[in-house]
Amino acid sequence: MTLISRMESVQSPIIPVVGELIKNSPGTISLGQGVVSYSPPAEAIELLPKFLSDSKNNLYQAVEGIPPLINILKEKLAAFNNIEINDNNRIVVTAGSNMAFMNAILAITTLGDEIILNTPYYFNHEMAIAMTGCNPVLVETDENYQLQPQKILAAITPKTRAVVTISPNNPTGAVYSRELLQEVNDICRQRGIYHISDEAYEYFTYDNVKHVSPASFSDSSDRTISLFSLSKAYGFASWRIGYMVIPQHLLTAVKKVQDTNLICPPVVSQYAALGALQAKPEYLKDNIQKIAEVRELVVESLKKLEGICTIAPADGAFYFFLKVKSQINDFELVKRLINQYKIAVLPGTTFGMNQGCYLRVAYGALQKETAKEGIERLVNGLRDLVKS
C-alpha cells in the first residue's frame, strides 16, 4: 500500500532546485536568492562573549525570547514602526520570520480553513498553508502589483481566517501605501479575521517611499499579526532570528506551537541580535545606500528590455518581477539562462503566477561590478531567447 503524505501537495522549494542548476553550470552569477552581500554589524559579534561567559545560557530559555532582546525590540517597534507594546499585544522572538508565519497559521486555523494570499505570493507562505492542511485563496494584485481591497473582500468566506500582505514585497518589490493597508486592515477587523503583515524588508525602501506598519493603526492590535526579520537588514540570514507582534489573546496558542517545534529561539543568536540592534545608525544607512546604488544600476540596464518585458515599479525590497513577452515556459527559460548565459533568476510559477512567463530578479546579494555583469548577461539572454 502506498501511503500519501500531506507533503505530496506542497511545492518543492525553488532555491535548492535552482541552486543545483547553478552548481552544474560553473561561473553562473545568481540573481536568485534574496539575501544581502554584507555581514552582521560588529556589535553582534562583540556580544557573543557575554553569552559564552554565563553557563546558564547553555540551558533552555524563555519560549518567547530572552527579556533583554524583548526590551530592545519594544524600543525599536516604537521608534521605527510606531507600534506600542502594551497589555493588548506581545512580542515573540522566533527562528526567522518564516517560523513566525507558521506559528501564526497554526495558532489561528483548523483543518480546511482558508488564508488569502495576494499574487504573486511568497512561496514559503503558500507552502506553510498547504502543510497545515489549510487552503490558500489567491487574489490578484493590479498591473503594478498593488493590493485590490475589493477583490480581497469578495474572496472572504466563512472559512477565511486571515489576509496576508507583504510590504515591501517579495517577489515584486512593490511597497503598499498607508491607504491600501488601512483598507485591508479595516476589512479584517470588520470581518473578525486576522491581517498578517510580513515586514521582513521594512528598511529597504527607495526614492523617499516610506514603510508603513498596519499594527500602528488605531484599533488594529486585536486583529493584526506583524512579522519581522533580522535576516535581511542585519545580514543575519543563517542566524535565524525574527520576531512577531501578536494580539495578547494568541500568546498561549503561539507559545504551544513554538515550544513544540523549537522550545526557544537559539539563545546564542538572540545575543547576537541584541548586539545588532544596538549598532550605530550608519550601519543600516550605509549598507542600504549601497544596495540602492546597485538598484539604480539594475534599473538602467533593465530599460534595455523594453518591448521584451513589462517591468512594474519596485520601490522596496531588492527585487524586480519581470513579465516576459514569451510563450516559453518560465522554468525552461530559467534553465536556458543558466546553461547558455550563466545567469540565474527564479521562475514566476513558484510565486503563483501560472498564466504567462514571469521571472524574479534579486539584486541584494551583489556588489556593483558583479551586478552589472549579471544584469548584462540577463539582458543579452532575454534578448536572444525571447526573439528566437
pLDDT of residue 258: 97
Q: What percent of the chain has pLDDT over 70?
A: 99
pLDDT of residue 13: 85
Mean pLDDT of all residues in 318-345: 95
CB-based burial, 291-308: b 16+ in 10 Å, e otherwise: beebbebbbebbebbeeb
When pLDDT is cut at 50, 70 and 90, the band that residue 33 belongs to is confident
- In angstroms, the CA 121 to CA 14 distance is 14
pLDDT tens-digit series, residues 227-275: 999 999 999 999 999 999 999 999 999 999 999 999 999 999 999 999 9
pLDDT tens-digit series, residues 188-222: 999 999 999 999 999 999 999 999 999 999 999 99
pLDDT tens-digit series, residues 56-70: 999 999 999 999 999
Radius of gyration of the chain (CA): 21
pLDDT tens-digit series, residues 94-147: 999 999 999 999 999 999 999 999 999 999 999 999 999 999 999 999 999 999
Cell match 485563496: residue?
Answer: 137
When pLDDT is cut at 50, 70 and 90, the band that residue 2 belongs to is low
Across the chain, what does the average pLDDT equal? 95
Cell match 516610506: residue?
Answer: 210
Q: Do the Cβ atoms of 163 and 197 come closer than 8 Å?
A: no
When pLDDT is cut at 50, 70 and 90, the band that residue 7 belongs to is confident
Smallest CA-to-CA distance from 376 within 301, 293, 299 is with 301
pLDDT of residue 388: 53
Cell match 516559453: residue?
Answer: 328
When pLDDT is cut at 50, 70 and 90, the band that residue 8 belongs to is confident
When pLDDT is cut at 50, 70 and 90, the band that residue 10 belongs to is confident
- In angstroms, the CA 100 to CA 209 distance is 26
Query: Is a pLDDT exceeding 80 seen at residue 1?
Result: no
Query: Is-above-0.75 flag for pTM?
Result: yes
Pairing of strands 309-311, 319-324: antiparallel
